[in-house]
Amino acid sequence: MPLERSPRELLQGQLAATLPHAPDLVLVTDLDGTLLGGSDPWRRRLYGWLQAERQRVLHVFCTGRDLASVARLLREERELGLGSPHLVIGDVGSTVACGHTLEPLPLATDPIEARWAGLPERLLPLLARIPGIAAQPVTAQRRLAYLIDPAELDHDQLAEIEAHGVDCLVSDNRYLDVLPAGVNKGSTLLDLLDWLEVDHARVVTAGDTLNDLAMFETGLQSVMVGNAEAALLAALPRLPRTYRARGHGCEGIVEGLHHFGFGHLFEAVF
């Protein structure tokens, strides 16, 4: 009988590119306001460093964007030097894809798909009756995405939606994501790290809005960048392994990496 393949081998088999085998750092970054935040000079320097260190630094996008939006972003930001990550956690944790091809990875997405089956048909009519929300024009799978009007939205009605086996996540006081219960950026990231057999001491996450809170609640080393929204900042006292950076966006990421002892990886650059 053939030997059973490990989750890491299965994941690698579904990727179109090879991952660093024993990275010195796994950097997990939100996009809008975090990796896309800060001044252009800081962004160019960080993006260039990430591309130069691909064999030592495993980079993961962890974003609310869907894969089509990530593809557009990579085209738009090419001039500043932003390259493809190794992996993408998209749709607020409900999608995992190869960073090179943006093809979803069945090992990660199939279990989430099974939990999502039948929920949209049940929830869409209920959500249509809630004032203050409007569907976003995205191509997301395994989640429903809305824009909200905070003045009109009744959060009690969202609690009624959650009784159907989903989580309703409001972020930046503008976005509502409806996800399978228990699925978020943090839960999907922990599963991914387990499959990759990565030492958690080598992982740093970074974010700026409430949909990044689940990453910070994992207990991984985390950076809350200086431009974080007030609602996320309010959670800081209960996040002992989260560093509050002064710098915005990319500058804050680099500041946090220094704080957690990874400055030796880029002393000649920053």
Mean pLDDT of 85-95: 97
17 within domain boundaries? no
Rounded Cα gap, residues 160 and 134, in angstroms: 18
Task: Choose between 77 and 7: higher pLDDT.
Answer: 77
When divided into structural domains, the chain yields a total of 2
80: in domain: yes
Residue 2 domain flag: no
Residues 200 and 174 in one domain: no
* Rounded-to-integer distance, Cα 204 and Cα 21, Å: 17
pLDDT band at 49 (very low <50, low <70, confident <90, very high): very high
Tokens 């009784």 locate to 163
Give the pLDDT confidence score for residue 2 in this predicted structure.
55
190 & 89 share domain:
yes
Q: What is the pLDDT of residues 224-259, one digit of tens each?
A: 999 999 999 999 999 999 999 999 999 999 999 999
For the segment 143-153, the average pLDDT, to the nearest whole number, is: 93
Q: 93 lies in a domain?
A: yes
Residues 120 and 194 in one domain: no
Looking at the domain assignment, is residue 122 inside a domain? yes
Assess if residue 119 is contained within a domain: yes
Question: Does residue 197 sit in the same domain as residue 73?
Answer: yes
Do residue 27 and residue 101 come from a single domain?
yes
CA 261 to chain centre: 22
Using the 3D structure, point to which of 129, 153, 180 is the last residue of a domain: 180
Q: What share of the chain in percent tops pLDDT 70?
A: 97
Q: How many CA atoms lie within 13 A of 4 on its CB side?
A: 2
Q: How confident is the model at residue 267 (pLDDT cuts 50, 70, 90)?
A: confident
| 155-188 pLDDT tens trace | 899 999 999 999 999 988 899 999 999 999 999 9
Q: Are 104 and 129 part of one and the same domain?
A: no
- The count of other CB atoms within 10 Å of the CB of residue 217 is 18
- Please say which residue of 180, 213, 229 terminates a domain: 180
Asked whether residue 125 falls in the same domain as residue 249, the answer is no
Residue 99 · residue 61 · CB < 8 Å: yes
Domain shared by 169 and 226, yes or no: no
**Domain for residue 270, yes or no?**
no
Q: What are the pLDDT digits (tens) for 121-136?
A: 999 999 999 999 999 8
Residue 270 pLDDT: 67
Q: How high is the pLDDT of residue 21?
A: 84
100 and 189: one domain? Answer: yes
Asked if residue 166 and residue 79 are part of one domain, the reply reads no
* CATH number of the domain encompassing residue 68: 3.40.50.1000
Question: What is the CATH number for 157?
Answer: 3.90.1070.10
Please provide the average confidence, as pLDDT, over all residues in the chain. 93
CA 81 from chain centre, in angstroms, equals 20
Residue 127 forms part of a structural domain: yes
Instruction: Mark whether 203 and 96 lie in a shared domain.
Output: yes
**Do both 28 and 104 map to the same domain?**
yes
Domain end among 151, 180, 209: 180
Per-residue model confidence (pLDDT) at position 9: 78
Q: State the pairing for strand pair 25-29/203-207.
A: parallel
Q: What is the pLDDT of residue 139?
A: 75
| Domain ranges, residue 167 | 113-180
Give residue 1's pLDDT.
47
**What pLDDT is recorded for position 177?**
95
